[in-house]
Structure 1
Amino acid sequence: MITLLNRLRQGKSESDRASLRSRAFRAGSWTLVVHFLSLALRFVGTIILTRIFAPEAFGVLAVVTSVQLVIVLLTDIGLRQAVIQSPNGAVPSFLHTAFTLQIARGIFIWALSGVFAAGLSLAQTHNWVPSGSAYTDPDLPWYIFVASFLSVIWGFQSMKAVSASRNLNVKPVYLTELFAQFVSQAFVILFGWLTHSLWSYIAGQLISGLVIASLSYFVFAGHRDRIGWNREAARELLRFGRWTFLSSTLSALALNGDRLLLGAWLNPQSLGFYSVAYNLASVPDGVVGKIFGAVSFPVLSEAARNQPERVAEILRRMRWITDGSLLAISGFLFAASPSIVHLLYDARYAPAGWMLQYLSLGLIFSRYTISQQAYLALGRPEYLTALSVAKLISLFSSISLFNFLFGIQGAVLGVAVHMLPSCLLMFYFNGRHNLNSARLEFVVLSAWLVGWLIGEGVSFVF
């Protein structure tokens, strides 16, 4: 009898493992296809917009986007991650409480943005901002205030979309986002061409948010959203979110501090060059992050709930793909960046070539960030807080020191290598949960050399 029960348990374990693997593969496949289409759409849009707007416009947009992201991350309490990770993530009262907190957070973000915009306007009036910097644009406070209304729109997005991600049903999530991106980008290109005004870009962002929030109520199946409050659910959400809040507060500056600092040191044109280079350099990291971020956290969370001994194995399998891909792309971009910029943009944007070359080195370090999904799945969000502290200190010290020693080229190089201390800290955290792999670390380094050789070949052809 005991033997029979053991066989039944083993059969169930193997069935669960196969189910998780198949759902993860299906989710990853959809993520890859849709994100590729999204990148292609964004790529075409960027090429067109660089013909419509001068480099200075992208410098101002870099500041607007950075301020938005900082304020959003400063108020992040990890609602989405909590719903995906929690055993109560499918309970209606839990979802209603999360929905209520989401709406309140969106309104609070917009109010906070209004305070920042008013402060910036006052600083401009009294000449407290660096002369000639991107912060002197007189319309910048209004850009920030209006663009931040997007947080209010996102606050009313249905929790059904989060539940779909929890269950690895990502197809409708990404198709909705892709449709919204197409509508938004078509609007920006059309009205940008007609008006040559950055307001077309701000309006396009709001339209994208409206499309996503509206469709979330009709596309997804699940419990009907409503305002509600459950004390136990709120306690669990906020308990999980306190570490996420600390981590996001620090990550807000760590992720956007480069553009905030450079915005004060550079004129809008030079910041525009950096923005173009940064956007290109972030594409590979964004692809890998989108694919594995959408898949790895739900997969690792489910494994941590049901088969915790498999978390290390699953993470290593993912890292063979992510590390190899990012290292190869890093080597390729380091060799071919000037040629790529020359091919894609007109001569006004040539300085973005060397900036992209330097920033490509950052992919060597950013490949480790997938481990953070495992930390959340294992219920250790405090690790992310410690990593954010390391990133923040390293970013500001690296940019400032390298800028002082070598000027703007040094500042860009400081951005590229600032993640080194946090990577060393991740090795320590991984060791505590048996997540490290010496074999993986050494073998995948060859991918950078392969990518560099291919990039040299491409540059020679061009």
Structure 2
Amino acid sequence: MASAESASLGRKVRTAARWSLVNTVVLRLGNFATGIVLARFALGPAEWGVYGVAQTVLMVLLSANELGVGLAVVRWEGDLRRFAPTVQTLSTLSSGLLYLVLFAAAPALADALGSPSASWVLRVMCVSVVLDGLAQVPNGVITREFAQIRRLVLDSVNFGISTGVTLGLAFAGWGAMSFAVGALAGNAASLLGAVIAAPGAFRFGWNRAEAGALLRFGLPLAGASLLALGVVNVDTLIVGATLGKVALGYYVLAFNMSGWPVRVVSEAARRVSFAGFSRLAESAGPALADGFSRALRVLVTGTVPMCVLLAGLAAPVVGLVYGHEWLPAARALPWLMALGLTRIGCELAYDCLVAIGARHALLAVQGLWLAALIPTLFGGARLDGIAGVSAGHALVAAGLVVPAFLLALRRGGIGVRVVARACAWPFLAGAAMAAVLVGLPRALGHSLLALAAASAGALAVYALGVLPTRHALLGVEPRHGRHARPRALLPGPSRPPVPPPRHSSESDPEPLLDGTGADGVRP
């Protein structure tokens, strides 16, 4: 019985992971191309700065808009029909109240962030908070069922509508407001699609006992999520308030570039990792540790080469892709790539700790991160502008937050050795790749052809470096030399999951696609 359940979960996770990766890659490429067109032909750094302020406020609101109760749809065992209507009511009410507060505070908030012209952009873009609250249960059902093909269709519709509206309005001279209206149009379409894709999930209801249990479960997670969003977005607020909206435009562009590898790899994994870890949370300790190790190895191996390439070729890439007007953004990019690589592991650890119920540990880690980050970023901004902010961000994450997450994981049964084994080969290969990337241009020059040759050589060195881990990456276990058998990215439970005490459940908010998604956000 346990074997059948393990095989079934493994198949679900592998299938969902493949479709999630396709979804993320396609949409990221589309967002990348759209960003290039807008930056080159329609919008300047000041407009990007206004958009950055609005997007930051939106993400912070989305992190708390349903009070954490939406996570119940994925995590809780039992009959969804019993508690889902209460989740729908709670998430809709809380998101509506949040939007009313934002609407009243928008002018003062925009002025405090150094972009007074952003107030109406904030008001329009943040209608997405209400749409996200309405979509919590349908989106949670899709995640719970590993239905990533449906997710691909929904996100594609969202992207097509939001991109078309944004481009049309930007070229018509709407400036940063084009982002807000485009995002709103895409989110509305995504909500309608989610309701259709999860029939019967969109129902309102109220049960007082269920509501109390949901709030006790969700509020600590909402607090941790809010702190996590603060960690990811406090840099934008500090840059806007201390350096102005033009510098913020450069910083937002660099931060978005640093997110290319992080989002392509991490979002695809996180759309299935939380649900997978949740299924393993009640199984034996080694199964959870093995699943975490496998997922981390795949994520790090896929992310390291992209991070090293973008960090090593920051100025040429920015100039080639966006134009020389945007070259100041290149100063921040190497540090932000280091931050992005660190965030990969932290995000996976976050999902794992949520799945095993370590909510207080998450609050402690995120609170520590934010408390250390604020003074560090202010100091970095004064010392070296956006480059100083980026360096401070990366150093706090690597020097303080990673050890804190390792300690929390260890208490959850995942030791430091598990993490070290997963990261060792990719990190060593990445160091060799960086050496090649630095050395070859010195010997060959800095022409486009020389940089292409250096990139190809560096990638070849990296591929050779991670070759010893090929069996683990392909999801097979060597047996009798040439023979091998497949294994799941996340192993199935060794025994059937034990339902949590009374009324428990949990859903993973989906990441926002560069401000154009309708799903919830968590860093």
- The two structures have a TM-score, normalised by structure 1, of 0.89
* Aligned CA distance change for structure 1 residues 371 and 288 (closer, same or farther; 3 Å): same
* 1:432 lines up with 2:411 in the alignment: yes
Q: Which residue of 2 aligns with 1:379?
A: 357
* 1:193 lines up with 2:171 in the alignment: yes
Q: Which residue of 2 aligns with 1:238?
A: 215
* Superposition map of 1:247-286 within 5 A: 247-286=224-263
Identical positions, percent: 21
SS in 2 for 1:226: coil
Following the alignment from structure 1 to structure 2, what is the Cα–Cα distance between the partners of residues 33 and 82?
27
Following the alignment from structure 1 to structure 2, what is the Cα–Cα distance between the partners of residues 136 and 111?
21
Following the alignment from structure 1 to structure 2, what is the Cα–Cα distance between the partners of residues 365 and 158?
29
> Is contact 2:296-2:423 (8 Å) kept?
no
Following the alignment from structure 1 to structure 2, what is the Cα–Cα distance between the partners of residues 226 and 408?
46
Following the alignment from structure 1 to structure 2, what is the Cα–Cα distance between the partners of residues 261 and 403?
8
Query: What CA deviation, in whole Å up to 9, does each residue of 1:21-71 have, x standing for no partner?
Result: 111000000001111110111011001111211111101110111112122
SS in 2 for 1:315: helix
* 1:71 lines up with 2:71 in the alignment: no
> Is contact 2:89-2:204 (8 Å) kept?
yes
Cα deviation for residue 336 of structure 1 reads 1.3
> Is contact 2:250-2:328 (8 Å) kept?
yes
SS in 2 for 1:159: helix
Bigger fraction of residues in helix: 1
> Is contact 2:65-2:133 (8 Å) kept?
no
Tell me which amino acid in the other structure corresponds to 1:68: L
Name which of 27, 43, 46 aligns with 1:53. 43
Cα deviation for residue 455 of structure 1 reads 4.5
Cα deviation for residue 84 of structure 1 reads 0.8
* Aligned CA distance change for structure 1 residues 154 and 136 (closer, same or farther; 3 Å): closer
Deviates further, 194-203 or 302-311: 302-311
Following the alignment from structure 2 to structure 1, what is the Cα–Cα distance between the partners of residues 317 and 287?
41
Q: Which residue of 2 aligns with 1:86?
A: 76
* 1:25 lines up with 2:4 in the alignment: no
Q: Which residue of 1 aligns with 2:114?
A: 135
Residue segments in structure 1 that go unaligned for 5+ positions in a row:
1-11
* Superposition map of 1:385-400 within 5 A: 385-400=363-378
- The two structures have a TM-score, normalised by structure 2, of 0.79
Tell me which amino acid in the other structure corresponds to 1:36: V
* Superposition map of 1:57-206 within 5 A: 57-88=47-78, 90-120=79-109, 124=111, 129=112, 135-137=114-116, 139-157=117-135, 159-206=137-184
* 1:444 lines up with 2:426 in the alignment: yes
> How many corresponding residue pairs?
438
* 1:336 lines up with 2:313 in the alignment: yes
Cα deviation for residue 441 of structure 1 reads 4.1
* 1:227 lines up with 2:204 in the alignment: yes
Deviates further, 103-112 or 243-252: 243-252
> Is contact 1:323-1:444 (8 Å) kept?
yes
Query: What CA deviation, in whole Å up to 9, does each residue of 1:248-284 have, x standing for no partner?
Result: 2322321210000100111222211111100010121
Tell me which amino acid in the other structure corresponds to 1:249: L
Query: What CA deviation, in whole Å up to 9, does each residue of 1:159-178 have, x standing for no partner?
Result: 23311211211210232012
Q: Which residue of 2 aligns with 1:6?
A: none
Residue segments in structure 2 that go unaligned for 5+ positions in a row:
453-523
* 1:403 lines up with 2:392 in the alignment: no
Tell me which amino acid in the other structure corresponds to 2:9: L
Following the alignment from structure 2 to structure 1, what is the Cα–Cα distance between the partners of residues 204 and 104?
27
Following the alignment from structure 1 to structure 2, what is the Cα–Cα distance between the partners of residues 224 and 455?
51
* 1:314 lines up with 2:314 in the alignment: no
Tell me which amino acid in the other structure corresponds to 2:34: G
* Aligned CA distance change for structure 1 residues 454 and 196 (closer, same or farther; 3 Å): farther
* Aligned CA distance change for structure 1 residues 379 and 408 (closer, same or farther; 3 Å): closer
> Is contact 1:97-1:227 (8 Å) kept?
yes
* 1:324 lines up with 2:301 in the alignment: yes
Query: What CA deviation, in whole Å up to 9, does each residue of 1:76-111 have, x standing for no partner?
Result: 5223322211113x4312110111111112201211
